[in-house]
């Protein structure tokens, strides 16, 4: 048959790409295209099939149908295959492999079907040529495709000689990699070629091994996706026209050279993992696109629009990481929310495309998508969500606080006194709150002994902890005063009653403060400096954020740049988040509670930080220090006053045990580093021997903001350094 005569062909592709593939094949010159599940039938010349193997960005394989055979059982399959003149297709010197799929009542195993098919072909060559082809499963010269449907076997030759999604530029990739042809489909659905033609840029904030970036660059540079492949199946078949193929190949090379030399759009990628960035750089170099595609190590928290030249138009596209690369799945929602907030803030006027296997996570961005495409990443059902960032807004965002008019309710004299004190405190703190943009602070802390509660503001929510009444106080009187507090708070603070959470705080030792009080699992994201921290106002006595340590956390954030930070007894890791956002080279957070390690994992995700440079360790800090190998420039040590947790070998008393704990911590501190040691034990005295051994500076006064000036014994804090010789 002539190389210009039309023949029937079949192009396979991932499910969901059929319509795009039909358009692509038509653009290459195919006629009579017909979509089916995971593929497209089309007509065209053999030269068109060569071009499809080289230029199709979406196909897996280009198959040449040979015959439809009777295959009711293995014997009939063998007989039918033995009747084909295999010498017209390829020679015995070629190695072969059989891709067999499907089963029926008699052929129940694909391996058995492939074996009988191979026997028929090999036996034909022995009988007719006197020589048998070898079988090579992994890298054969000729690959045959046999698809069994009921009692018929559909035989094709794989013209491509292996899946076309393998472009040759990617030797290594991360977990659950995005296949190249699926990446190309994502870009086409997001109209990347159209955006690029209008001068738009492309940013992938979680680029991984750079698959989306490289597919985007190859599109705009007019580089044939299979130009880097070493071989194709059609090169080993009878009728191969090398001259025609070389002409097609030469034309593609010329187009690629002209494309590389043209003025191409800005294409950038970022990833938090330096190892992944190195893989991406190797992939980019392998295809020779270093001048077009640029990648750098940057967490999502630092994502910004490039400013070296105006970029009013562009596409943000990504396949957010999941599984081991990020950590626990429950933290993903916070990562997606951070992604939504970042791209809306930084890329107003752009388009965005997010590919995810979990539609609920896509919705967690808080953005409104105008289009959704159902796609498949292998066997995994997935969705491509498209967003127009010009007129979008975050759903579920915290609205600006609305000042409500007080409900005209009559209050008792005591309730009025309490309400007046709240208003007075709020006025006193208002300038500081506004100047420092403080969103969470203590408004009242048993200022009047009769009303022994702590009132804390968390954005638009209020958290009230009732202190246990001292012995001798009438329980009925204490209950009545709490009722007055409940009556006064909504009016005094102009908040709805259902935005106020009440708890009873008892003086406790050990893990009592961490024991669960409820099971609502509602997390509220609040702002503190650059950090967005998750608090739980309902389930535990403490909320996950110790407000009195705010100044120290902010100080750590300012001092962490370029340093290795260690957070011992890390609780929910808020100090680690501040250090990471402050530019720490690494953070290591140690706690023996799964609950709080997972809470920190969510806090990291909520700030666009992953676990590459932010290490989480579930361990008893005392035992961990005994075996610690690393050294740190900055350490935060905030142990409990007392603990008798079952996870510990012995009980811990901070007054009794702090000398050994501090010395063990100083052993992992670098020579020029500093340790912040804090605790909330009333009447705590720092060991005098420690003060002789190290330079210990009491900084308690500087670590208390205006909201804790009344209760200056809320904690004590030292900065401890190694003493230098005079």
Backbone angles phi, psi at 463, to 5 degrees: -115, 125
Backbone angles phi, psi at 569, to 5 degrees: 55, 55
Neighbours of 700 (CB within 10 A): 15
Name the one residue in this structure whose structure tokens are 């120290």: 552
Name the one residue in this structure whose structure tokens are 């033995």: 82
* Dihedral sign, Cα of residue 318, residue 319, residue 320, residue 324: negative
Given pLDDT bands bounded at 50, 70 and 90, which one contains residue 132? very high
Spell 340-355 as b/e; 16+ CB within 10 A means b: bbbbbebbeebbbbbb
Radius of gyration of the chain (CA): 34
Give helix 574-581 / helix 594-606 axis angle, nearest 10°.
30
Which range in 376-385, 405-414, 656-665 is most confidently predicted, on average pLDDT? 656-665
Spatial CB neighbours of 249, under 8 Å, sequence gap ≥ 6: 54, 227
- pLDDT score recorded for residue 614: 96
pLDDT at 54 over 70: yes
Among residues 382, 343, 346, the alpha carbon closest in space to that of 366 is found at 343
- pLDDT score recorded for residue 475: 75
- pLDDT score recorded for residue 238: 95
Distance CA 635, CA 668 (A): 9
Distance CA 98, CA 67 (A): 15
Distance CA 267, CA 207 (A): 11
Residue % of the chain over a pLDDT of 90: 81
Q: Report the first-to-last Cα separation within the chain, whole angstroms.
A: 94
pLDDT digits (tens, 9 = 90+) for 475-495: 788 888 899 999 999 999 999
Burial of residue 515, with CB atoms counted within 10 A of its CB: 0-12 exposed, 13-18 middle, 19 or more buried: exposed
Distance CA 223, CA 316 (A): 22
Name the helix (H) or strand (E) containing 377: strand 369-377
Cα 18 to chain centroid distance, Å, stands at 29
Note the maximum CA span of the chain: 111
pLDDT at 401 over 80: no
The pLDDT of 578-598, averaged and rounded, is: 96
CA dihedral 331, 332, 333, 335 (to 10 degrees): 100
Spell 227-262 as b/e; 16+ CB within 10 A means b: bebeebbbebbeebbeeebeebbeebeebbeebbee
> What are the Cα distances from residue 140, in Å, to 98, 148, 715?
9, 22, 72
pLDDT at 601 over 50: yes
Q: What angle do CA 134, 138, 140 make, to 5 degrees?
A: 45
Residue 601: CA atoms inside 13 Å, Cβ hemisphere, count? 21
pLDDT digits (tens, 9 = 90+) for 88-129: 999 999 999 999 999 999 999 999 999 999 999 999 999 999
The pLDDT of 395-414, averaged and rounded, is: 54
pLDDT at 512 over 50: no
Spatial CB neighbours of 224, under 8 Å, sequence gap ≥ 6: 54, 55, 218, 252, 255, 256
Among residues 539, 560, 540, 557, the alpha carbon closest in space to that of 549 is found at 557
3-class DSSP assignment, residue 511: helix
- pLDDT score recorded for residue 519: 62
Residue 159: CA atoms inside 13 Å, Cβ hemisphere, count? 26
Q: What is the pTM of this model?
A: 0.84
Given pLDDT bands bounded at 50, 70 and 90, which one contains residue 70? very high
The pLDDT of 136-157, averaged and rounded, is: 95
Name the helix (H) or strand (E) containing 39: strand 39-44
Backbone angles phi, psi at 244, to 5 degrees: -65, -40
pLDDT at 260 over 60: yes
- pLDDT score recorded for residue 510: 44
pLDDT at 415 over 50: yes
Distance CA 384, CA 370 (A): 11
- pLDDT score recorded for residue 175: 53
Q: Of 199-203, 233-237, 292-296, 496-500, which range is least confident?
A: 496-500
Distance CA 40, CA 211 (A): 25
pLDDT digits (tens, 9 = 90+) for 286-343: 999 999 999 999 999 999 998 878 889 999 999 986 654 444 567 888 999 999 999 9
- pLDDT score recorded for residue 266: 95
Cα 160 to chain centroid distance, Å, stands at 35
Which domains, ranges and CATH numbers included, belong to the chain?
Answer: 7-158 (3.30.2130.30), 180-221+264-388 (3.40.50.150), 398-507 (3.30.750.80), 531-726 (3.40.50.150)
The 3-class SS string of 179-224 reads: CHHHHHHHHHHCCHHHHHHCCCEEEECCCCCCHHHHHHHHHHCCCC
Distance CA 467, CA 450 (A): 11
Q: What angle do CA 50, 218, 182 make, to 5 degrees?
A: 80
Among residues 309, 383, 395, 304, the alpha carbon closest in space to that of 348 is found at 304
- pLDDT score recorded for residue 506: 53
The pLDDT of 398-417, averaged and rounded, is: 58
Given pLDDT bands bounded at 50, 70 and 90, which one contains residue 449? confident
- pLDDT score recorded for residue 327: 45
- pLDDT score recorded for residue 71: 94
Distance CA 9, CA 63 (A): 6
Q: Which two tokens stand for residue 574?
A: 């808020």
Backbone angles phi, psi at 418, to 5 degrees: -65, -45
3-class DSSP assignment, residue 634: strand
Given pLDDT bands bounded at 50, 70 and 90, which one contains residue 248? very high
Length of the chain: 726
Per-residue DSSP letters for 277-290? HHHHHHHHHHHT-T
The 3-class SS string of 108-126 reads: CCHHHHHHHHHHHHHHHHH
Name the one residue in this structure whose structure tokens are 């420092």: 436
Over the chain, what is the mean pLDDT? 91
pLDDT at 725 over 80: no
The pLDDT of 372-395, averaged and rounded, is: 92
Residue 458: CA atoms inside 13 Å, Cβ hemisphere, count? 25
pLDDT at 408 over 70: no
Q: Which two tokens stand for residue 476?
A: 């009925």
Please name every residue paired with 528 in a beta bridge, in sequence order, or none if there are none.
531
Given pLDDT bands bounded at 50, 70 and 90, which one contains residue 405? very low
Among residues 364, 361, 334, 365, the alpha carbon closest in space to that of 352 is found at 365
- pLDDT score recorded for residue 517: 56
Per-residue DSSP letters for 648-676? SSS-EEHHHHHHHHHHHHHTTEEEEEEEE
- pLDDT score recorded for residue 473: 65
Distance CA 271, CA 303 (A): 10
The pLDDT of 261-280, averaged and rounded, is: 94
- pLDDT score recorded for residue 470: 64
Q: What angle do CA 342, 309, 389 make, to 5 degrees?
A: 35
pLDDT at 516 over 70: no
pLDDT at 515 over 60: no
pLDDT at 513 over 70: no
């Amino acid at each position: 048959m002539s190389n210009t005569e039309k023949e029937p062909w079949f192009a396979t592709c991932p499910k969901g790409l059929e319509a795009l593939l039909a358009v692509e094949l038509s653009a290459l010159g195919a006629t009579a295209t017909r979509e089916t599940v995971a593929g497209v039938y089309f007509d065209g010349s053999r030269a068109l099939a060569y071009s499809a193997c080289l230029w199709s960005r979406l196909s897996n394989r280009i198959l040449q149908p040979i015959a439809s055979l009777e295959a009711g059982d293995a014997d009939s399959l063998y007989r039918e295959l033995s009747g084909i003149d295999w010498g017209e297709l390829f020679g015995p010197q070629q190695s072969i492999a059989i891709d067999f799929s499907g089963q029926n009542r008699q052929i129940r195993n694909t391996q058995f079907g492939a074996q009988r098919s191979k026997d028929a072909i090999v036996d034909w060559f022995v009988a007719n040529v006197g020589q048998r082809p070898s079988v090579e499963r992994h890298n054969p010269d000729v690959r045959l495709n046999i698809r069994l449907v009921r009692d018929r076997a559909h035989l094709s030759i794989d013209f491509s000689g292996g899946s076309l999604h393998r472009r040759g530029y990617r030797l290594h990739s991360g977990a659950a990699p995005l296949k190249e042809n699926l990446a190309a489909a994502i870009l086409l659905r997001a109209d990347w070629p159209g955006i690029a033609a209008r001068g738009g840029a492309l940013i992938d904030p979680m680029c991984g091994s750079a698959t989306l970036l490289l597919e985007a660059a190859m599109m705009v540079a007019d580089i044939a996706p299979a130009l880097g492949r070493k071989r194709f199946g059609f090169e080993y078949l009878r009728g191969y026209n090398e001259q025609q193929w070389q002409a097609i190949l030469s034309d593609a090379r010329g187009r690629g050279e002209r494309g590389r030399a043209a003025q191409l759009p800005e294409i950038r990628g970022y990833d938090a993992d330096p190892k992944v960035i190195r893989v991406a750089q190797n992939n980019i170099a392998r295809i020779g696109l270093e001048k077009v595609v640029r990648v750098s190590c940057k967490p999502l928290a630092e994502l910004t629009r490039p400013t070296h030249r105006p970029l009013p138009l562009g596409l943000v596209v990504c396949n957010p990481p999941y599984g081991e690369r990020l950590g626990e799945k429950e933290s993903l929602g916070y990562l997606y929310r951070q992604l939504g907030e970042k791209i809306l803030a930084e890329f107003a006027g752009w388009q965005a495309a997010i590919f995810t296997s979990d539609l609920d996570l896509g919705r967690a961005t808080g953005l409104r998508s105008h289009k959704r495409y159902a796609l498949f990443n292998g066997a995994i059902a997935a969705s491509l969500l498209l967003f127009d960032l010009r007129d979008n807004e975050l759903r579920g965002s915290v609205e600006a606080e609305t000042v409500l008019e007080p409900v005209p309710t009559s209050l008792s004299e005591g309730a009025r006194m309490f309400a007046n004190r709240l208003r007075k405190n709020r006025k006193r703190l208002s300038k500081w709150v506004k100047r420092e943009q403080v969103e969470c602070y203590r408004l009242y802390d048993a200022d009047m002994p009769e009303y022994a509660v702590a009132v804390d503001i968390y954005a638009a929510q209020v958290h009230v902890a009732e202190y246990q009444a001292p012995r001798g106080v009438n329980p009925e009187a204490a209950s009545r005063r709490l009722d007055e507090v409940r009556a006064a708070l909504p009016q005094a603070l102009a908040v709805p009653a259902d935005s106020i959470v009440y708890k009873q705080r008892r003086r406790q030792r050990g893990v009592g403060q961490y024991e669960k009080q409820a099971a609502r699992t509602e997390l509220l994201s609040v702002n503190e400096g650059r950090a967005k921290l998750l608090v739980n106002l309902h389930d535990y006595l403490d909320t996950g954020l110790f407000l009195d340590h705010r100044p120290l956390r902010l100080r750590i954030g300012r001092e962490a740049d370029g340093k290795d930070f260690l957070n011992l007894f890390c609780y929910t890791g808020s100090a680690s988040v501040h250090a990471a956002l402050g530019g720490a080279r690494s953070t290591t957070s140690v706690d023996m509670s799964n609950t709080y390690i997972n809470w920190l994992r969510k806090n990291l995700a909520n700030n666009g930080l992953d676990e590459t440079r932010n290490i989480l360790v579930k361990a008893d800090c005392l035992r961990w220090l005994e075996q610690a190998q690393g050294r740190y420039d900055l350490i935060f040590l905030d142990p409990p006053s007392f603990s008798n947790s079952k996870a510990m070998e012995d009980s811990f008393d901070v007054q009794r045990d702090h000398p050994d704990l501090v010395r063990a911590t100083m052993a992992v501190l670098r020579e020029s580093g500093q340790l912040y040691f804090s605790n909330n034990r009333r009447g705590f005295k720092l060991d005098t021997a420690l003060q002789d051994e190290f330079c210990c500076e009491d900084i308690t006064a500087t670590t208390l903001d205006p909201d804790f000036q009344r209760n200056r014994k809320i904690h004590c804090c030292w900065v401890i350094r190694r003493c230098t010789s005079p």
